[in-house]
Amino acid sequence: MVEQFLFYSEAHIAVWAGLTASNLYSLWTGLQKVSGSAIFYHMHHSLLRRHFTTSDYMNDFARWVWTYLNQPALAEKLASVDPWEFTSVRDVREKLLAYLEPYVGEMETFMRVPERDEFQFIELRSLAFPTGLTAIDLPSFRDCLRQVGHGSLFYHLIEARLRLGRRSNDFSEWLSDCLKEDALAERINNLSPYAYNLWQLRSKIIELVEARLS
């Protein structure tokens, strides 16, 4: 018997981490100190908050460096850090620090921004909960996809990489392991949330499933 796919959703609440950055140096030290959930908030969760504004810098660090520190080259590098490519928050943090380090190293003095413009580190408390929707085959999977909200897509596509610890997502895992739909699983896994917003991603996945069904 095929194992059912249980659709979960994820809700988040923000907590002030008690840490701010006023220049490049304090951003660098802050990035080393804050919890993984703060990196998750500023890198991954920002995809959810601004998921339809694909043309903008998606993560909070790149936006702040661009807007307040006037460091466009560094901002571009930080913006290129696509959380989708990483399977752990630790790796994301290391990549960000690797981009920051040369800039921190070559500066003798650090311009401070006014207090109102400081970067505020935020942590996240996230709750994953069942939506009550279950799929047992491709048609029911497609029907459920049409009904779920963006919290569910975020949980199964974006958060999944960190939970699974590999470059995959819950949909692809289930399609491959339980329905033996390896090619479809692979196609879904190649869709990037950095290139599409969550609604577009959903449409793309539904299109792929329908193509397979027909």
Partner 1 sequence: MNKIRLDDYAPIVGSAEIHEIRALAECVGPVSLQHINSTATGGGVAEILSWVVALMKDLGLKVKWTVIDGPPTFFEVTKTFHNALHGARVSVTPEMFELFTEVSKQNLRKVDRRADFVIVHDPQPVGLIVARKNRRTRWIWRCHIDLSEADARVWGFLRTYVERFDAAVFHLPEYAKELLIDQFIIPPAIDPLSDKNRELNPSEIEGILNRFGIDPEKPIILQVSRFDRLKDPLGVLEAYRLVRHWHDCQLILAGGSAADDPESGRVLAEVRERAAEIPDVHILDLPPTSHVEINALQRAATVVVQKSVKEGFGLVVTEAMWKGKPVVGGAVGGIRRQIIHGSTGFLVHTVEGTAFRVRQLLSHPEMAAQMGQAAREYVRTNFLVTQYLKNWLLLLLAVRKPWKGLMHWPKRG
Interaction between residue 159 and partner 1 (CB under 8 A): yes
By beta-carbon proximity to partner 1, the closer residue of 39 and 185 is 39
Q: For residues 119-158, which are near partner 1 according to CB under 8 A?
A: 120, 122-132, 147-152
Burial of 108 (0-12, 13-18, 19+ CB in 10 A): exposed
**Shortest gap between Cβ of 183 and partner 1 (angstroms)?**
28
Q: Which residues pair with 6 in a beta bridge?
A: 134
27-66 footprint of partner 1 as x/- string (CB under 8 A): --------xxx--x-------xxxxxx-xx----------
Tokens of 184: 């479809």
Cα–Cα distance for residue pair 85/189, rounded to 1 Å: 11
By beta-carbon proximity to partner 1, the closer residue of 145 and 188 is 145
Q: Which of 67, 70, 88, 192 binds partner 1 (CB under 8 A)?
A: 67
Cα–Cα distance for residue pair 63/24, rounded to 1 Å: 13
49 CB contacts (<8 Å, ≥6 apart)? none
Cα–Cα distance for residue pair 178/1, rounded to 1 Å: 9
Residues near partner 1 (CB under 8 A) = 8-16, 18, 35-37, 40, 48-53, 55-56, 67, 115-116, 118, 120, 122-132, 147-152, 159, 163
